[in-house]
Chains A and B, each alone.
Chain A
Amino acid sequence: MAVVLSAAPPGALPLWQRAWRQFRTASILGWKIESNWADPFIFAIYTLIRPLAGAFILVFMYLVVVEGSTSNPYFAHMFVGNAFFMYVARVMMGISYAIIDDREHYEMLKYIYISPLQILLFLFGRGMANIITTSISVVITLLIGIWPLGIQLTWGQVNWGLLLPSFLVGLLALIFMGFLLAGTCLLLARHAWAISEGVAGVLYLVCGAVFPLDVLPFWIQAISYLFPLTYWLELMRRVMLGSSFSGSLAGFSDWGLFFLLAGVTALWGVASILLFRRFDGLARRRGLIDQTSGY
């Protein structure tokens, strides 16, 4: 008698529904871990104070040198770039730190691995809480930039048609980079926690988050073109402020820069998923999924 093996047991949910359920559960879990240590008011303060302090360091650095008004377009570019850069550390860390947290702290990663879920979907879900909280921080930072700091950002000057697609593609790039970092964290014990912060530090420097790329040495500029975030931050400034910040990217039209961003993001997407699978396989073979190192 022939036996027919089906991919899913009878009565199982369709693939998209299972994927949605995994993503939703991981997102809720991520949110609980992020937020349930404090009451909502304290959590709101916690979410806002750190990024606002970072933004105000730039404000005072600017004021002490320029001794002028913050309505200058240069300041606006610096401030908006810094606001959107908040996503970089938080989203990448939200995804990659889930590995360290679940493996070392909660010691649950082994159970997650043996459960029938897609690990990348789970990690994306875990990063979702950070995307939400960072979005609130970014919006409030931008509002503070408009008032009381007086950044010239008006409703009419924003390129709304390009804002959403650029924002989403940039976010996707961050998620891919988070996957790559998460894969790296699977193989590391002692330095895993420093990886996200270190990479965010490198990107803050090379992607021209708060200064034009042109001030960087030539060889660092060459490195910066490899990262989608360079194009993303420039594009977000352009769609919001209507002008270019980096002279070296000024030759691209807004849509040209968008397609460049999309292309580089796609390459990063393929590379990060392939590398994650490779690192994941190595971690399984070396028995690293349930390692605890006390770090």
Chain B
Amino acid sequence: MNTPTPTERFLRAIIGRAYPRVVGQNRELSWLVIDCLLPLLGVAAYVYIYKAMNAAPYFISYVVLGGAMTAFWLNILWSMASQWFWEKETANLQIYIMAPVSPMAILCGMGIGGLLSTTIRAAAVVIVGSLLFGVTYQVSSIWLVIAVFLLTLISLYGMGMLLASLFLMYGREAWHMSNLLQEPVYLFSGFYFPVKSLGAWVAGAASLIPLTLGLDAMRQLMFSSDPTLGFLSPWVECLILLALCPFFLWLAKLSLARMEKAARIEGSLTLRWQ
């Protein structure tokens, strides 16, 4: 039998970890209903807030797109960042660490598997939200929209891989950390309003979260809205996202190595309830 090369093993591990995420989603289709319905409720509430204030129609478009992107942030928090904590609780983590594959490959697989199902959910929110609330699109550059979207997701899932190792160190605080990071990120990344209104300093700091720049760029490129509401030009935002991708992947690799070393020294990987 041929021994797989390290690259083959890496790719196999990615597929192996992505597989249960994709298949699991198909086996439990009711999750799709819940995952599409819950963000839609929030989207509808925020749309009615704008409607009650007689806001310009593009604010409703902003809410629909922001509401769809919440699916990705929730996936990062609950299915990436907290995942290794759950795996530890169910005694899977030590098996992952013992397996002759890189933890990066497992996290990549987790990210890719989650990404596929989350994209379906986000698309459903955009389609249903657009139909319900009459959102109109005026895309200025489809290729730039696609590039921004993909770069946002790559850097975001890189950030998710980094958070996964950090949250593991937090132990049972991981659940609370995920809870804590939900609304504040909705606020600072401008999920429901233009991030520019937070002021240059706060919006600049919030740009470390890839969704901030991704959302801002996509809104500028997809809707006919007030051009003064954009934070930076979409091209600049695209370039920053391009830089954030390797930055988060490198940080994740560093953090994983550190987590693994610490766990081996302290022997804490198999300890539940910590």
Contact A201 B49 (CB under 8 A): no
Q: Does A19 contact B (CB under 8 A)?
A: no
Q: Does B1 contact A (CB under 8 A)?
A: no
Contact B172 A53 (CB under 8 A): no
Contact A205 B48 (CB under 8 A): yes
Closest Cβ neighbor of A191 among chain B residues: B34
Q: Does B180 contact A (CB under 8 A)?
A: yes
Which residues in B have their C-beta under 8 angstroms from that of A202? Answer: 41
Which residues in A have their C-beta under 8 angstroms from that of B184? Answer: 49-50, 53
Contact B176 A37 (CB under 8 A): yes
Contact A38 B173 (CB under 8 A): yes
Partner of B53, one of A37, A65, A190, A191: A65
A208 to chain B, nearest CB (A): 9
Closest Cβ neighbor of B41 among chain A residues: A201
Flag A38-65 by CB within 8 Å of B: 1 or 0 each: 1000000010011101101110111111
Closest Cβ neighbor of A202 among chain B residues: B41
Q: Does B46 contact A (CB under 8 A)?
A: yes
Chain A facing B: main interface SS:
helix
Closest Cβ neighbor of A199 among chain B residues: B41
Q: Does A198 contact B (CB under 8 A)?
A: yes
Total A-B residue contacts, Cβ distance less than 8 Å: 97
Closest Cβ neighbor of B42 among chain A residues: A201
B242 to chain A, nearest CB (A): 28
Contact A61 B187 (CB under 8 A): no
B83 to chain A, nearest CB (A): 13
Contact B41 A204 (CB under 8 A): yes
Within 8 A of A (CB), among B15-61: 28, 30-31, 34, 37-38, 41-42, 44-46, 48-56, 59
Flag B183-197 by CB within 8 Å of A: 1 or 0 each: 110110011111001
Q: List 21 A-B contacts (CB under 8 A).
A: A50-B183, A54-B186, A54-B187, A58-B49, A60-B198, A61-B50, A61-B193, A63-B197, A64-B59, A64-B194, A65-B59, A78-B49, A191-B30, A194-B38, A201-B38, A202-B41, A205-B41, A205-B44, A211-B51, A215-B48, A294-B90
